[in-house]
Amino acid sequence: MKLHKTKIKKEKALLVACAIKGKSSIKKLKESLSELNNLSISAGADPIYEIYQLLQKPQNTYIGLGKISEIKEYIKIHEIEVCIFDDELNPSTQKVLENKLGIKVIDRTALILDIFSKRAQTHEGKLQVELAQSEYLLPRLAGQWSHLERLGGGIGTRGPGETQIETDRRLIRGKIKRIKAGMKKVESTRTSQRTKRMNNNIINLSLVGYTNSGKSLIFNKLVKSNILSKNQLFSTLDTTTRKIFLDEEIYSTISDTVGFINKLPTILVESFKSTLEEAINADILLHVVDYSAEDFNEKIETVDNILFELGLNKVPKILIKNKIDLIEKPLEYLELDESYLAQITTSAKVGTGLNELRSSLLNASQIVKN
């Protein structure tokens, strides 16, 4: 008997990025495409080629018509199955691109949502992903029914399509309402737990940082836990909170939160606000960065910008420069704003710097408490 492999075939993907001259650079486009490449692999695609373009002004097709012709030729030669764009596309642009390219087109937001749907483990995490997916899909329903246009068009086809779209919109709006009601119950439980900790004068620490910076491994080492810690994007979507012993007179908790990323879609920030509330209500933020990454400075800036948007720029912070086991360069002291109380170099993998980190956490907790 002949056995057949059941491994799921990966879709061949072409990655596309563009920006306006003066607002970005070729270097930044390449860095963003590199991140998009990692996201595509995490989602199960096989990215085989990347195309980028700097434009003089925005185009209603996202990229120039010349690039579209170039992409069509590449799709034909290499049998590309999906084209992934590095920014969120509005529904009309996405539809135009699909018509011109003749294959499936998805944007960065849809890609991240796909990864989130695979990673969510808890009831709350699944609700948050489902909410973001539903809100993303709602304005794009017309495109889902574009096959009706190929039935001949005109009288006899337009009506049924529109009826189905309205039915789907009503169903999705009802689903969004139910999900939000379910999330309120979860948030109510989380709020009561948080209030209890605050009333007991407990110092709340929260790990934040770019995705795949090593936050979860540091969390595990500090509290001797075993939450999921993998070398992959968005391995943690669900907030985990544990007690951490720093001193006999200081009671503390520490939370691990979802990782940030460049161009983090607004729809995800909104949907994951309950997860981010642990960071919002933290007394001290532990900002973890992959210090071995060439662009670690940019990643620090990205996280600081998101923290600013969340109103957390004044919260006391400690910078944890992680993964120093992977580098040979001299360690440097970084220039940071006054909200940073300290910066520590660590390797959570081999245990380097964890004692210094604990001492720094204790000092910071004493400052905050007093």
Which helix (H) or strand (E) segment holds residue 329: the answer is none
Confidence check: pLDDT of 146 > 60: no
Read off the pLDDT of residues 175-214 as tens digits, 9 standing for 90 and up: 888 888 887 776 666 566 555 555 556 888 999 999 889 9
* Euclidean distance between CA atoms 282 and 300, whole angstroms: 19
Across 25-41, average pLDDT: 89
- Whole-number Å distance between alpha carbons of 205 and 218: 13
Lowest mean pLDDT among 27-36, 162-171, 242-251: 162-171
Q: Kindly tell me the sign of the dihedral angle through the C-alpha atoms of 270, 232, 23, 13.
A: negative
pLDDT at site 4: 53
For the cut 60, the answer to whether the pLDDT of residue 230 exceeds it is: no
Residue 145: the pLDDT is 46
| Residue 28 and residue 254 in contact, taking contact as beta carbons nearer than 8 Å | no
Reduced to 3 states, what is the DSSP secondary structure of residue 343?
strand
Query: Is the model's pLDDT at 249 over the cut of 60?
Result: yes
The predicted model scores a pTM of 0.73
Label residue 58 by pLDDT band (50, 70, 90).
confident
Which pLDDT value is given to residue 96?
92
CATH architecture of 201-369: 3-Layer(aba) Sandwich (3.40)
pLDDT in tens, 272-284: 665 566 677 889 9
Per-residue DSSP letters for 58-71? Answer: --TTSS-HHHHHHH
Mean pLDDT of 138-149: 59
- The pLDDT of residue 8 is 66
pLDDT for 287 equals 96
Residue 18 to residue 85: CA distance in whole angstroms: 9
- Give the confidence band of 133 by pLDDT, cuts at 50, 70, 90: confident
Contact 246, 362 (CB under 8 A): yes
- Tell me: pLDDT of 306 over 60: yes
Q: What is the largest CA-CA distance in the chain?
A: 78
* pLDDT for position 201: 66
- 3-class DSSP assignment, residue 333: coil
pLDDT band of 326, cuts 50, 70, 90 = very high
Confidence band, pLDDT 50/70/90 cuts, at residue 153? very low
- For the ranges 74-78, 126-130, 224-228, 311-315, which has the lowest average pLDDT? 224-228
Q: Quickly count: other Cβ atoms within 10 Å of residue 192's Cβ.
A: 9
- What is the residue-averaged pLDDT of the chain? 81
CA distance 113 to 39: 11
Look up residue 273 and give its two tokens.
């606000």
Q: Please, which pLDDT band fits residue 232 given cuts at 50, 70 and 90?
A: low
Provide the percentage of residues in the chain whose pLDDT is more than 90. Answer: 37
Give the span between the Cα atoms of 139 and 27, in whole angstroms.
Answer: 33
**Lowest model confidence (mean pLDDT) among 70-74, 100-104, 243-247, 353-357:** 243-247
CA distance 266 to 278: 18
In this model, does residue 246 exceed pLDDT 90?
no
| C-alpha to C-alpha distance for 293 and 278, rounded to whole angstroms | 27
CB-based burial label for 282 (10 Å; 0-12, 13-18, 19+): buried
Could you tell me which of 65, 116, 98, 85 has the C-alpha nearest to residue 13?
85
According to CATH, the topology of domain 12-115 is Rossmann fold (3.40.50)
pLDDT of residue 147: 41
pLDDT at 162: 54
- Could you tell me which residue, 119 or 330, shows the higher pLDDT? 330
User: 66: how many CB neighbours lie within 10 A of its CB?
Assistant: 9
Spatial separation of the C-alpha atoms in residues 224 and 242, rounded to whole Å = 10
